[in-house]
Amino acid sequence: MDLTFSPADEAFRLTARKWLADNVPADRAPYEGQASRDFALAWLARCNEGGWAGIAWPEAYGGRGLPPERLVIWYEEYVRSRAPSVLDCTFVALNHAGPTLIACGNEEQKAFHLPRILSGNSVWCQGFSEPGSGSDLASLSTTAVIDGDELVVNGQKIWTSYADIADYQELLVRTEKGSKRHQGLSWVICDMKAPGITVRPIRNMAGVSHFAEVFYDDVRIPLTNVVGALNDGWRVAMTTLGFERKTAAIGLQLELSVRVEDLILLAQAQPGSAMAERLAELRAETAALRAMTYRTLFRQPATTFDGSLVRLRFAELSQAIHQIAMDILGPDGLVDSHWTHDYLEAYSETIAGGTAEIQRNIIAERILGLPRE
């Protein structure tokens, strides 16, 4: 891998920079609801008119078929220009629904949906998680039964971002009766305006609603909306998650670099010594360790397992202190001294006498009463 860009790449960068400078909206995106949808779609439509929407999508589907280098350049310029965050209600369509259709959809599905996505005319959401199936997605139980040339869906999804303002949904349902886990699922395009769908927005801890519960009560979906083969939905869903966890993240990750630059400016306006702060913390932590030690020693009646708490706190604090010593010593840390010696010795603290992992199991099981593994 190398990171040199050709003169043509650099020219591309300048074009992107200029376009962004002329077009990025001055307003901040609204947080939720119809206003957030209008804002995001207007911005996407503008990008599309400028030829910047879906630039890595194949030309046949409205993209420019650009290679990853160009995508990277585009996103670098994008975040530097302080353009609206890529994480808005267009995210699902642009970053995983569209790509999933390109990879697994049939020609009718692509011809209908892809142009609508790029031109800023449809919002997608993702209906995978259910109340009983989050991390364990394969246990999902929303069902779809074939009736003529339609599927009839019943069940519930939850945490569906943008469900309240979406036109379509990547819906993962169980189409084979009695099937278990990854078998018998299908990935279906669900029209969010279909009768029988109820969306109940859920407020999040930031005080806004952009996810929701979605209820399906005899919702009828044409069989032609199945993406990939019937009962092969797990494979399609893994394609979706592959996009969601990989390419979609470029813009988000780059955004973080800009955030850090902003943070440095913020910090420069508020001086203070980080090392002094850290030493003050160590003082406080060692004071607390002493208090813990005494309390455990004098506890009546004596208990069996709370030694694990002190023991582990000690081990990790000891390592932290010696790591800071090495930071302070700098090049002198290379010469053997008691600091260096103790620093190296301290690596045993989280291994000898029961590793940190085992101590944590003991605390969780014996003190907190969590189930055994």
Partner 1 sequence: MACDLNQNDEQRQILDAATALLEESFPVSRSLGDDQERIDKLAEFGAFALALDDDLGGTGFTLVEEVLLHVRFGRHIVPAGALAAPVAARIAAELGDNDLAREIATGQIAVSAGILAGDRLRTLDDTKAKLALVFDRRRLELVEIANADGETATGLGQGAELTEFPFVATTRIGASNSASILNVADLLVSAQLLGIAEAARDLAVSYAGMRRQFGKPIGAFQAIKHHCANMAISAEMLSAQLDMAAIAQRDSRDDAAFQTAAARLLAPRVALANARLCIQVHGGIGFSAEADAHRFLKQAHLLRQLGGGAAMLDLASPMAPHR
Ligand X SMILES: Cc1cc2nc3c(=O)[nH]c(=O)nc-3n(C[C@H](O)[C@H](O)[C@H](O)COP(=O)(O)OP(=O)(O)OC[C@H]3O[C@@H](n4cnc5c(N)ncnc54)[C@H](O)[C@@H]3O)c2cc1C
C-alpha dist (Å) from residue 26 to 29, 83, 197, 260: 9, 9, 36, 21
Indicate which single residue of 47, 158, 171, 214 sits in contact with partner 1 (rule: CB under 8 A).
158
- Residue 97 Rama label (left phi>0; alpha psi -120 to 50; beta): alpha
The token pair that represents 4 in the structure block: 């040199």
Helical segments of 269-371, H only: 274-298, 307-329, 338-345, 356-362
Residue 249's CB: how many other CB atoms inside 10 A?
A: 14
244 is catalytic: yes
Q: Between 18 and 180, name the residue whose CB sits nearer to partner 1.
A: 180
166, interface contact from partner 1, ligand X, none, CB < 5-8 Å by kind: none
Task: Answer yes or no whether residue 91 interacts with partner 1 by CB under 8 A.
Answer: no
| Euclidean distance between CA atoms 131 and 159, whole angstroms | 9
The one catalytic residue in 76, 77, 170, 244 is 244
How many chain residues touch ligand X (CB under 6 A)? 11
Task: Answer yes or no whether residue 207 interacts with partner 1 by CB under 8 A.
Answer: yes
Chain residue whose CB lies nearest ligand X = 134
| Euclidean distance between CA atoms 175 and 192, whole angstroms | 19
Single out the residue of 239, 169, 176 nearest to residue 197, CA to CA: 169
225, interface contact from partner 1, ligand X, none, CB < 5-8 Å by kind: none
178, interface contact from partner 1, ligand X, none, CB < 5-8 Å by kind: none
332, interface contact from ligand X, partner 1, none, CB < 5-8 Å by kind: none
Indicate which single residue of 160, 186, 239, 240 sits in contact with ligand X (rule: CB under 6 A).
160
Task: Find the part of the chain contacting partner 1 (CB under 8 A) among 21-29, 73-81, 133-141, 214-222.
Answer: 133-141
The SS3 of residue 230 is coil
User: Taking CB under 6 A as the criterion, which residues in 81-140 touch ligand X?
Assistant: 125-129, 134-135
User: Taking CB under 6 A as the criterion, which residues in 199-258 touch ligand X?
Assistant: 211
Residue 117's CB: how many other CB atoms inside 10 A?
A: 27
Single out the residue of 1, 18, 6 nearest to residue 74, CA to CA: 18
Interacting residues toward partner 1 by CB under 8 A: 129, 132-136, 139, 158-159, 202-208, 211, 276, 279-281, 283-292, 294-295, 297-300, 306, 309-310, 312-313, 357, 359-361, 363-365, 367-373
Interacting residues toward ligand X by CB under 6 A: 125-129, 134-135, 159-161, 211
